[in-house]
A = this chain, B = another copy of it.
Amino acid sequence: MEKLTLIKVGGKIVEEEASLRRLLHDFAGIEGFKVLVHGGGRSATQLASQLGVETKMVNGRRITDMEMLKIVTMVYGGLVNKNIVAGLQALEVNALGLTGADMNLICSDKRPVKEIDYGYAGDVKKVNAACLLSLLRQHIVPVLAPLTHDKQGHLLNTNADTIAAETAKALAPYFDVTLVFCFEKRGVLKDENNDDSVIPELTGELFKQYVQESIIQGGMVPKLENSFEAIRSGVKEVIITHASEINKNSGTRIK
């Protein structure tokens, strides 16, 4: 099967001019089929603050009321997405910026209200693989913003890691998919105070052991659980690495 690389980058990288330029340059250098998924939370929080809208996060997830939905639609779907697209076009990458609403690419359910009402937050229901496949075959490079829709006319704020993992899984029957999560560290660290203690490869066994020993903890646990789930669903490889090293053979590999 042909190779496809799906890169997920967080807000910090794409919101700063210098790191964005470097990322786009490295991304342009990736051979074969590729997809970019981006965040933008910091800019959304900043714009919200400028507009006097309070940002509320629960378990690392943004509470998205109507005002916040407008803000993330502007920041993720407009500012961040279109700057990436223009930047890639200048590097001769035929980028196309997309939300899940465009071409009905990713359909979500509004998250059910249990203890917490996350508002206009979407849980991914279906990624339209046929549509992505068609774009990729036309040598178009999809750039996905973390927004989906419910097919009832509503946009929904959707976690970018989830979009990346679900898209990778949807494309796994057609490509050898490598899913790369960019991170502020050089990979999963054995000692969080030592940037050189990157764990080169993680198996399910090792992961369980490290969690029990509290070597891996916090937000890295769900990220890795998602990664193992992606592997079980047919994704060939998941890599957790620093954004400046997406083209190098570094980081933590999960197979």
Contacts and interface: CB of A to CB of B under 8 A. Distances in A.
A97 B99 contact: yes
Nearest to A104: B89
A51 B51 CA distance: 7
B79 A74 contact: yes
B99 A103 contact: no
Contact of A96 (B103, B147, B151): B103
A97 B86 contact: no
Contacts of A228: none
Interface string A61-81: 000000000100111111101
A250 interface: no
Query: What is the copy number of this chain in the assembly?
Result: 2
Interface residues of A, number: 39
A82 B73 contact: yes
A143 B238 CA distance: 35
A249 interface: no
A177 B155 CA distance: 32
A228 to B, nearest CB: 33
A77 B84 CA distance: 13
Given A78-B76, A78-B78, A83 B134 contact: no
A29 to B, nearest CB: 16
Contact of A82 (B51, B104, B147): B147
9 contacts: A51-B51, A74-B78, A75-B78, A78-B78, A78-B79, A82-B147, A86-B101, A86-B155, A89-B153
Interface of A: 47, 50-51, 70, 73-79, 81-83, 85-87, 89-90, 94-99, 101-104, 134, 138, 140, 147, 149, 151-155
